[in-house]
Amino acid sequence: MSTESSLSFHNTYTKRREIFVPRSSQAVRLFTCGPSVYRRQHLGNYRTFLFEDLLQRYLEYRGFPVERAINFTDVEDKAVEEAKQEGLTLAELTQPVIDEFLETAAHLGIRLPDGEIPRATTSVHDAVDVTERLIARGHAYWYGANVYYDPLTFSGFGEIFGLDMRKWPEKRYRFSRDTYEGLRWNLGDFILWHGAAEDDEFAWDTRLGRGRPAWNVQDPAMIAKTLGYEIDIHCGGIDNVYRHHDYNRAVMEGVTGTEFCHYWVHGEHLIINGQKMSKSKGNVLYPAHLFEQGYSPQHLRFTLTYGHYRSKLNITDTLLRETGEFLERLRHTARGLVEPTEAQHHEDLRPEAESGRTDRVIEEIPRLFRLQMDNDLNVKAAIDDLHGIMTDLHRRGRLHGRTADQAKRIRRHLTDVDTVLGVIFPAEH
């Protein structure tokens, strides 16, 4: 690692805030867990995608080149079961969900990597390669037509979550599904490869035989293909701390024997009117619902990012109204600040001193923004400080005037900040 900064994150792995030091000055390698596309993505998913978007944008704002990868999980137990139930192929099931995700991401200003986003179905042979390497290194083994990973062969398993390995059962258990509803942890060996019958249409012919890769080898395979076996930051929703990211780490480091990723960053849940979203409660909310109600994409982007990514966000009608009103105040103030203005008090006895003070306040825009964002991406504090500066500059402009040069510098700083926030200036269509 070579380049140090004042930027810090709360690292789920070490359970504390850490100064971010990338492996190389050439680029920050960032992986953000993509959507499971057997079903459409709800508002909570997009909150995670937006925090990851802000992270990439802020890294670039701070001068870090970023190489980012995201993926589509388009074959897993749930996708296969759903496709069979609906009488669809995997592509027929997942492509409409992918199309909606791409459209919604564009509306919300979520930047995605250039080029084709890797999918589990287009990375099957990459997953086979990873699985074979794990077998060769003694971490994985065959049992019948399936391949399993034995976590006890990997020292450090469970450290991201903080799993107490003293509670690991002495008897060997094998977990053959990709996920298990209601279980925080599968205390046993997890599946890497689902062996399949010759007539199974949801399977591929590979060096491992006919079958399909399990969920917890798919991400590592796609990361290895796009970013390599060593990255800087791994992101996702808080749910991924259970039964996923520790598995991904064990797979990657099981192949190489070296550290895969040091910084693990996770976003908290979004809830609706104080309750967790669920089909049984009938409160699952999608961006399209809010667009249909008249909320703009930038309003929704602001609502989902105005807070701290590690705190739960409770979506209510009141919150949506208040954030919309606040966003309009920010925009109204910004529109006024980027134009010169005459002083209302023509008897100002200290014009040069007041102009110098205004200059100093203008330069607080990037400084305070960086101060708050460097502190574990504290977006709310950054926006609140920004609002305070803008209000002060508005008052000073009304009293003492604002030169064309001052207005130009304010516009430049606000435009730079908005490359991260994406809400101050209305989106161009």
Which pLDDT score is estimated for 128?
A: 98
Residues 365-414: pLDDT tens digits? 999 999 999 999 999 999 999 999 999 999 999 988 999 999 999 999 99
Q: Do 104 and 41 contact (CB within 8 A), yes or no?
A: yes
How far is Cα 238 from Cα 366, in angstroms, rounded to an integer? Answer: 30
Average pLDDT score over the chain: 94
Task: Write out pLDDT tens, residues 240-252.
Answer: 998 899 999 999 9
Residue found under tokens 């930038």: 298
pLDDT of residue 2: 41
H runs (alpha helix) in 167-281: 215-226, 245-256
Sorting pLDDT into bands at 50, 70 and 90, what band is 1?
A: very low
Distance between CA atoms of residues 107 and 102, nearest Å: 9
**Predicted local distance difference test score (pLDDT) of residue 346:** 55
Assigned fold of 8-276: Rossmann fold (3.40.50)
Torsion of CA 15, 19, 23, 28, to 10 degrees: 100
Task: Classify the C-alpha dihedral 131-134-135-136 as positive or negative.
Answer: positive
The tokens for 113 are 């990597």
Identify how many contiguous H helices and E strands the chain contains and give both numbers: 12, 15
Read off the tokens for 13: 């792995």
Read off the pLDDT of residues 66-109 as tens digits, 9 standing for 90 and up. 999 999 999 999 999 999 999 999 999 999 999 999 999 999 99
Per-residue pLDDT at 302: 98
**Polymer length of the chain:** 429
What is the CA angle 160-114-10, rounded to 5?
25
CA atoms within 13 A on the CB side of 108: 31
Q: How far apart are CA 229 and CA 10, in angstroms?
A: 23
Average pLDDT over residues 204-230: 97
Domain chopping of the chain, boundaries? 8-276, 316-421
For the segment 128-147, what is each residue's pLDDT rounded down to a tens digit? 999 999 999 999 999 999 99
pLDDT, residue 428, reads 60
Say if residue 429's pLDDT is above 50.
no
Q: Is the dihedral of CA 296, 297, 302, 305 positive or negative?
A: positive
